[in-house]
Amino acid sequence: MKYKKFISIITAAMLLATGCSGLPKERKSQTYTDTLFDTVISVQILDSVDEDVLKGCETLCKKYDAMFSRTNEDSDISRINQAGGAPVEVSDETVKLIKKGIYYSEMSGGAFDITIAPVVNLWDFQAEEPSPPSQEDAAAAASHVSYKSIVISDNKVSLSDPEAGIDLGAVAKGYIADRLKDYLEEQGVKHALINLGGNVLAIGTKLDGTDYNIGIQKPFDESGNPIASVRIADQSVVTSGIYQRYFKKDGTIYHHILDPRTGYPCDNHLYSVTIITDSSLTADALSTTCFLLGYDRGMKLIDQLDNVDAVFITDDNEIHYSRNFQK
């Protein structure tokens, strides 16, 4: 997916968050924007704060990008993946996030799996002329996907299968958004909007006390126009959709939500899953988990959880809401 599409999503979310009239003219929001986590990110603070607060956001984001990245050779995750099965000492936060990933992998029965790196490594969605790997290569890579191969002892992490590999892409942005919220609240911020490439977390309400109104993008709409919207205050909205990063080859769409059992994009008649809940990490993990589970199993899971809402969009462009949606 091209960055311009990410920017349009962010712009739409910000317009909906602040209202069409924007902020009052006498106040200027303070915003940190960057390109990290393989996407465009934005932290918009509506309160008046020192510039150091924005610098603190930048420091945190770059710290976590260096810590959790699968492609940064010096990151905790890369060092684990490259260790050939040997134990690697990593940070407390890396261990915490890996354990969260294992939790959701177990919850889904392996439909979601954070050791999907061997499969992800076969796909390059940003290549000039991307193409799918062979079915044989994908199956071979998928044979090394199993969260059960992760071994944790205190701060040391190893992989019992040396050809396995961890990818925290489905949970990292949610975790980072939650940490940004903690930091901003410690700095006295009461009104802000964090957007990590479509992973949106609201701190408080808008300045006038009303809820943020966050758009859910219409699938495959290049303009980023919303197909629906949700109202939130002190909550997170995260969408996993096949239109966020994909390419077409010989008339077939290949998207980035890969099935760990086949090594190929998940094919279950879903366009997207949006989760609304208090924790951005929970929303991040559940959006991917429910997508991989499919509509029936995914919606059943959501309806069993407290304080979690969901919007599923199927490939007939029908919108489906969870049982207690925004009750």
Nearest to 215 by CA among 1, 5, 18, 17: 17
Q: What is the pLDDT of residue 21?
A: 41
Nearest to 46 by CA among 192, 184, 186: 192
pTM of the model: 0.90
Beta bridge partners of residue 274, listed in sequence order: 239, 311
What gap in Å lies between CA 74 and CA 103, rounded to an integer? 26
Q: What is the pLDDT of residue 258?
A: 98
When mean pLDDT is compared across 14-23, 32-41, 79-88, 120-129, the lowest value belongs to 14-23
Q: What are phi and psi of 37, to 5 degrees?
A: 55, 30
What gap in Å lies between CA 195 and CA 11, rounded to an integer? 10
Could you tell me how many residues make up the chain? 327
* Residue where the block lists tokens 């990593």: 90
When mean pLDDT is compared across 42-46, 114-118, 196-200, the lowest value belongs to 196-200
**What are the tens digits of pLDDT across the range 149-180?**
999 999 999 999 999 999 999 999 999 999 99
What gap in Å lies between CA 66 and CA 75, rounded to an integer? 5
Rounded to the nearest integer, the mean pLDDT of the chain is: 91
On the question of pLDDT at 89 being above 60, the answer is yes
Residue pair 277/283 in contact (Cβ under 8 Å)? The answer is: yes
Average pLDDT over residues 45-51: 93
Q: What are phi and psi of 143, to 5 degrees?
A: -70, -15
Beta bridge partners of residue 272, listed in sequence order: 241, 313
What gap in Å lies between CA 296 and CA 198, rounded to an integer? 24
